[in-house]
Structure 1
Amino acid sequence: MKNKNNGVLHLILRLLQGMLIGVGAVLPGISGGVLCVVFGIYKPVMELLGSPFKRFKTHVPKLLPVIVGGAIGFLGVAKILAFFLEKYPEPSVCLFIGLITGMLPSLFREAGEQGRPKGCWIALVVAFAIILALLISLNLFSVTITPNFGWYIFCGFCLALSVIAPGMSFSTLLMPLGLYTPFVDGLGNLEMGIIVPAGIGAVVTVICLARAVDALFDHYYPYAFHAIIGIVIAATIMIIPVDSFTVSVGSAVTNIICIVVGIVAALALDAFNSKIPVED
């Protein structure tokens, strides 16, 4: 009976994690890939994407709750949270900052599972510096373009990249180009004129990059994982709403409370997750 209850709890946990990943994938500044990492499912997801036919029977049953939850979060809950992001942008982002920050201890723990050679810290710093410089550069340019079939293929590329490369939020790439809002609205309204080209871009990206990233983890696990931590930290720093902390004492306190709530929730989720046995 205890094992059965653990199985149900694990199923519910994976479903909730999938919902958070789906929500994180659509919110500005958040990366679905980051949340895959912090929830400890990044590697199996990459293995499935890299060899979908070979690993279908072994990986899909375990990841199915995450996939279902991701779809719910992306298409359903994301609309609700998008409302709060529009009405209360700073507190909403601060809540996710707290969530990611609270998951950093588990990230470092998982990154050290195969040891910590000296080079892994260099990989962390280099990845941090590159992503930080890239994101800062993107924020310096503001270019508006007209969405079309080709640009929606590019949106699909960015969406897939945000899963394959943790920390690279697709919104970070699309918002400076004026593509984020029409793309997300189109997905939420199930517009095939947007879904089809985006799907093409996503599939091509997965085919080209997923297997390479999977091989990178197989051969250079500690270096790759520490590099991901650098990416996560850089991406998190870039979404901190610094200006909102100086507007008023009330807004600063609200943001701090949201960050603390996110950290506590993440630590609690990690502790809960660690108590549930997972079958190999």
Structure 2
Amino acid sequence: MNQKSTGLSPAQFIFRIFQGALIGLGAVLPGISGGVLGVIFGVYKPIMELISHPFANFKTHVPKLIPVFIGGIIGFLGIANLLAFFLEKYPDPSVCLFIGLIAGMLPSLFREAGEQGRSKGSFISLIVCMIVIFVILNALNVASVTIEPNFFWYLFCGFCLALSVIAPGMSFSTLLMPLGLYTPFIDGIGHLDFSVLIPGGIGALLTVIILAKAINALFTHHYSLAFHGIIGIVIAATVMIVPFSSFAASAQQALINVVCLAVGVVFALLLDKFNSRVEVPEA
């Protein structure tokens, strides 16, 4: 594929692959949304336009989004085994690193949310969504819900995964971790287990077909309300995965967690700064 067909220079093409890889990572990492990264990188809108109207937008959107899709696959599949390993061996520092990444992305997310202005309703949406997610996740934690993974639950995993891409701020790990489905789902993806990949893929595809147009319309007509609601969800979901007990375990463990938090924040801020300096044409 040449520069003329994509509208991208070689450097921009490579950078788009890098962005796609990060979106793929965001789709699978705990507490992070691939949709949020897509918004920050300026590719969310063209992706949703393509999903909502694939035939009408195929020729105009696909060539410019191909490097993003390539990177997304690389990031998604490439990280699964590594992620499963670190979550098993070093769960608390890993989660703290992810929390730092989310915290570092919040300024960019808030900036994007106000792109079309803010109103009282925007902040009400943020607070209401934050409270709702707090209530739901606390109820799940109190109930100590655990589920035996099977075909139908992996369909649900696929639904959550697709939702984390098409709805910025939604992280599928937020729903799957309290249910005990996150680790087996990620492990199955990393090992290319078709008993996991097939139902997960079906669930993701059905979700995209059924919900993509509705979510695209929501952001088109109620951008500020929807985006601030997403910020509320991000904040609540992030607070819920903070390993508070780990900070109290020992001074050494607390220090490690703080360092991981700081590394995540710095990396996210540097990534946002770097992204703002690289101009990539939108699809």
> Is this a same-fold pair by TM over 0.5?
yes
- Please identify, of 37-46 and 49-58, the stretch whose mean Cα deviation from structure 2 is larger: 37-46
Verify: 1:17 aligned to 2:9, yes or no: no
- For residues 9 and 205 of structure 2, the distance between their equivalents in structure 1, rounded to whole angstroms, comes to 32
Q: How does 1:83-102 map to 2 (within 5 A)?
A: 83-102=85-104
Verify: 1:203 aligned to 2:189, yes or no: no
- Please identify, of 182-191 and 71-80, the stretch whose mean Cα deviation from structure 2 is larger: 182-191
In structure 2, the CA distance between the partners of 1:34 and 1:238, relative to structure 1 (3 Å rule), is farther
Structure 1 contact 50–214 (Cα < 8 Å) conserved: yes
Aligned length, in residue pairs? 275
CA offset at residue 267 of structure 1?
1.3
Q: Which runs of 5+ in 2 are unaligned?
A: 1-7
Match of 2:220 in 1: 218
Structure 1 contact 38–100 (Cα < 8 Å) conserved: no
Amino acid at match of 2:81: K
In structure 2, the CA distance between the partners of 1:228 and 1:20, relative to structure 1 (3 Å rule), is same
In structure 2, the CA distance between the partners of 1:41 and 1:209, relative to structure 1 (3 Å rule), is same
- For residues 146 and 181 of structure 2, the distance between their equivalents in structure 1, rounded to whole angstroms, comes to 8
Which of these residues, 125, 145, 148, is aligned with residue 146 of structure 1? 148
Which of these residues, 115, 134, 137, is aligned with residue 135 of structure 1? 137
Match of 1:3 in 2: none
Structure 1 contact 94–258 (Cα < 8 Å) conserved: yes
TM-score when normalising by structure 2: 0.88
Verify: 1:259 aligned to 2:269, yes or no: no
Match of 1:56 in 2: 58
Q: How does 1:57-76 map to 2 (within 5 A)?
A: 57-76=59-78
TM-align CA RMSD: 2.1
Q: Which runs of 5+ in 1 are unaligned?
A: 1-5
- For residues 130 and 176 of structure 2, the distance between their equivalents in structure 1, rounded to whole angstroms, comes to 21
Q: Percent identity?
A: 66
Structure 1 contact 34–232 (Cα < 8 Å) conserved: no
TM-score when normalising by structure 1: 0.88
- Please identify, of 143-152 and 233-242, the stretch whose mean Cα deviation from structure 2 is larger: 143-152
1:184-227 residue CA offsets vs partner (Å, 9 max, x unmatched): 22222223232222222111111111100101111111111111
In structure 2, the CA distance between the partners of 1:261 and 1:115, relative to structure 1 (3 Å rule), is same
In structure 2, the CA distance between the partners of 1:98 and 1:190, relative to structure 1 (3 Å rule), is same
Partner SS, residue 113 of structure 1 = coil
Amino acid at match of 2:149: P
- Please identify, of 128-137 and 140-149, the stretch whose mean Cα deviation from structure 2 is larger: 140-149
- For residues 33 and 238 of structure 1, the distance between their equivalents in structure 2, rounded to whole angstroms, comes to 20
Match of 1:113 in 2: 115
CA offset at residue 9 of structure 1?
4.0
Match of 2:31 in 1: 29
Structure 2 contact 84–186 (Cα < 8 Å) conserved: no
